[in-house]
Amino acid sequence: QVQLVQSGGGSVEAGGSVRLSCTASGYTFGRRCMGWFRQAPGKEREGVAFIGNDGSITYTDSVKGRFTISLDNAKDTLHLQINSLVPEDAAMYYCAADPALGSSDYCSVRLNSASYWGQGTQITVSS
């Protein structure tokens, strides 16, 4: 049984930093589609950051320069480092993974129907 278990998040002051983690069991991220989404109340789910099987990385424009996606192969854990938080970053964050192969741009679309999802982690931003 595949599980993606998320950790991290919480309440963070604007301008602060937080790291989200997503650890897989029964599945190896490897060089396959993986990424992070977020959904704020009353808004549609939004793709945030993705890694493709070729190692390419894609970020949505609003997070470029502030978010960093990375994979710890040894621990089979996907991370999302978030710096310089702004109120608009407040949302429920989800990791996603799929055995599909492709570039990060391809994965940013493919993962909307990902095979595996984390349980979600809330980030609130206080000013």
What pLDDT does 64 receive?
Answer: 98
Q: Which residue in the block uniquely carries the two structure tokens 């978030």? A: 82
What pLDDT does 15 receive?
Answer: 98
For the chain (length 127 residues), average pLDDT per consecutive 10? Answer: 96 98 94 95 97 96 98 96 98 97 96 97 95
pLDDT tens, residue by residue, 43-76: 999 999 999 999 999 999 999 999 999 999 999 9
Collect all residues with Cβ–Cβ distance below 8 Å to 7 and sequence separation of at least 6: 20, 21, 22, 23, 121
What pLDDT does 55 receive?
Answer: 93
Q: Can you read off the two tokens belonging to residue 16? A: 């602060």
Is the distance from CB of 89 to CB of 125 less than 8 angstroms? yes
What pLDDT does 127 receive?
Answer: 85
